Amino acid sequence: MTTSLTTTASRTHPPRIDALVRAVDRRLAQLLQPREGTPRVLHEAMRYCVLNGGKRFRPLVCLGGCEAVGGQVRQALPVACAVELIHSYSLVHDDLPAMDDADQRRGQPSCHRRFGEGAAILVGDALLTRAFEVLSANGTPNTLAILRTIGQASGTTGLIGGQVLDLRLEPRRRKSETRHLEDIARRKTAALITASVVAGGLAGGGRQRALNALRRFGERLGLAFQLKDDLHDGDGLVRAVGREAVEARARRLIDQATQELNPFGQRADVLRALAQWLART
């Protein structure tokens, strides 16, 4: 569902953001290096599904959250990579024939089309497990809070719950179609983006008041991210309420998100640049 935004507008980032993307890509490649005694095909498939030119929106938001509270990028880099591993696993599983049945991902055959369905299930499982390993190896004082933040956003109330609703595995109850679609967007997209920026803030040693502001920023930016994706695909809420209404709502959300950054001053420049980039796409 979130393919299109990750493959557009790559050259509109300021140089600082491009440098952060390269740092994330380098670390991801390190984290996915074949380990002694690991089946080679598994690592090859994991690398295929992660090192494929994604725009790393969630890692950037995570690093931006860390900087906003006065932390250093290196403190949040493993967390940023773990979030991308979780995002990648969710795409691999979502693409499976029993789910969205997608043949392509970022212009290449999807994981199961390239490596087979059994392998794709295991690749997703392995990426999710690796994400939690990476988070656990990151022994800062806030590591457990980071783990809980990301675990909750990835679980039944977040990412996975959203996909259950999206697949319509459960009948919709007493909600308008619009609210139902927004509910899916909040869980499937906004929850992990929010967790990314809060976890970045935790990695940078942020206080509760700053973390709360980052959470409000993430919730609004994350929902706007999904609306922009829907605008791109003509999907979801665009079909339900029309293009203009969705465009106006996305603009308002991005404005509100950006206002949450005021207390951070220049430290929030990366987050500001990401919000501006989203507004332009």
CA atoms within 13 Å, Cβ hemisphere of 138? 27
The piece of 14-22, 42-50, 73-81, 267-275 that touches a copy of itself (CB under 8 A) is 42-50
Instruction: Name the amino acid, one letter, at 275.
Output: A
Closest approach, Cβ 169 to a copy of itself, in A, equals 5
Q: Considering only residues 226-255, where is the footprint of a copy of itself by CB under 8 A?
A: none
Q: How far apart are the first and last CA of the chain?
A: 16
Residues 102-121 that bind a copy of itself (CB under 8 A): 115-121
Q: How many residues bind a copy of itself (CB under 8 A)?
A: 52
Closest CB to a copy of itself among 129 and 259? 129
Task: Among 11, 15, 30, 35, indicate the residue that binds a copy of itself (CB under 8 A).
Answer: 35
CB nearer to a copy of itself: pick between 44 and 247: 44
With CB under 8 A as the contact rule, which of the stretches 72-80, 153-161, 204-212, 251-259 interacts with a copy of itself? Answer: 153-161
Q: Considering only residues 120-139, where is the footprint of a copy of itself by CB under 8 A?
A: 120-122, 124-126, 128-130, 132-133, 136-137, 139
| 21 vs 146, beta carbon nearer a copy of itself | 146
Residue 93 binding a copy of itself, by CB under 8 A: yes
Q: Name the residue nearer to a copy of itself (CB basis): 184 or 268.
A: 184
- In order, the DSSP letters of the chain are --TGGGGS-GGGS-HHHHHHHHHHHHHHHHHTSPPTTS-HHHHHHHHHHHSS----HHHHHHHHHHHHTT--HHHHHHHHHHHHHHHHHHHHHHTSTTTT--SEETTEE-HHHHH-HHHHHHHHHHHHHHHHHHHHH--STTHHHHHHHHHHHHSTTTHHHHHHHHTT-S---S--HHHHHHHHHIIIIIHHHHHHHHHHHHHTT--HHHHHHHHHHHHHHHHHHHHHHHHHHT-THHHHH-HHHHHHHHHHHHHHHHHTTGGGGGGGHHHHHHHHHHHH-
CB of residue 264 to a copy of itself, shortest distance in Å = 27
Least separation in angstroms between residue 242's CB and a copy of itself is 28
Given the rule CB under 8 A, which residues bind a copy of itself? 35-43, 46, 89, 93, 96, 98-99, 115-122, 124-126, 128-130, 132-133, 136-137, 139, 143-144, 147-148, 151-152, 154-157, 160-161, 163-165, 167, 169-170
